[in-house]
Amino acid sequence: MHQELLLREIRKRIGDKSLNDEIANILNISYDAAHRRTSQKAKFSFEEALELAKYYQISLDQFLTSDHQI
């Protein structure tokens, strides 16, 4: 659920650019590895999520609700 919310925020910010290309370039991973993450067959690591959030200036706090506090 949280990964989909992060991906949705990134999609808003990149417009018509390829989501897989963007993530592959930012995380320095292959296109196939990026595709596995964007199709949610693989999860972002915590470090990857932080790197994407920092790059796109997305606050990860917005994904936390009172039911999911760490």
Each residue's pLDDT tens digit, 6-44? 999 999 999 999 999 999 999 999 999 999 999 999 999
Q: What is the pLDDT of residues 34-44, one digit of tens each?
A: 999 999 999 99
The string of pLDDT tens digits covering residues 50-59 is 999 999 999 9
DSSP structure class, residue 41: S
Q: What is the residue-wise DSSP string for 48-68? A: HHHHHHHHHT--GGGG--GGG
* pTM of the entire predicted model: 0.84
Q: Hey, is 44 helix, strand or coil? A: coil
Contact status, residue 20 vs residue 38, Cβ threshold 8 Å: yes
